[in-house]
Structures are given as C-alpha cells and as structure tokens.
Amino acid sequence: MNDFYLKADNKAAFDAALDAAGFVTEFGIALPAGDSLDVIGTIRQPTGNTLTDAEGFDYPEMEAVPGYHANYRGDSLPEALQSLEISAPSTPVRVWA
C-alpha cells in the first residue's frame, strides 16, 4: 500500500474529482477493495496571536490553510485524483495508524 496526500481548491473540486474517479454512488463513497480515504477538509493552523474569550481564557488564533485536504491509501492513485496529489507534508495533520 502507498500513501498519497491530496489537496483540492475547495470541497466542490474535491467532490468532482471523486465523482470523476467513479467513487460517488447513490449510497456515498465506494472505493476499490483495500483502498482507504481519509477526508480532512479544511486545516487550521495557529497565527501566532493569542485571543482572550469572554471568560478571560486565552486561546490561539487560528487561520485556514488554503485548500481542501485528504489522505488516500492504495496500491496506486486513481488517474482522476492525480492532479490533486501533493508532496508529503513535513508535519501532517493526520497519518494512517
């Protein structure tokens, strides 16, 4: 099995790629046997600023990382998803167990 990291411009573009790959069915997403898809969606990261809520608790300000993200695991990446493939992130948000 190989791990692939995917990034689309937005959810609609990601869903269109899944549909083009033939994975969208009337019941949801159907992948080839043995393949896995982990849809992460929008990733948020700290800006470096600290905010304070109404109760006086500090928390990190977060901003969206551009794109709509997912991980795919399979022997190969389907052709319809190849344009979404990115290099492995140095600090991935989620990895396969």
Residue 94 lies in a domain: no
Whole-prediction pTM: 0.84
Instruction: Provide the residue range defining the domain that includes 20.
Output: 2-79
pLDDT score for 82? 97
Residue 46 lies in a domain: yes
Structure confidence by residue, pLDDT tens digits, 2-51: 999 999 999 999 999 999 999 988 888 999 999 999 999 999 999 999 99
pLDDT score for 97? 84
Residue 8 lies in a domain: yes
Residue 37 lies in a domain: yes
Residue 90 lies in a domain: no
Task: Give how many domains the chain has, as a whole number.
Answer: 1
Residue 91 lies in a domain: no
Residue type for position 21: A
Residue 97 lies in a domain: no
Tell me which residue has tokens 């190849």. Answer: 82
pLDDT band at 86 (very low <50, low <70, confident <90, very high): very high
Residue 16 lies in a domain: yes
CB atoms within 10 A of CB 23: 19
Q: What is the DSSP secondary structure assignment for residue 89, as one 8-state letter?
A: P
pLDDT score for 48? 96
SS3 content of the chain, % helix, strand, coil (to 5): 15, 50, 35
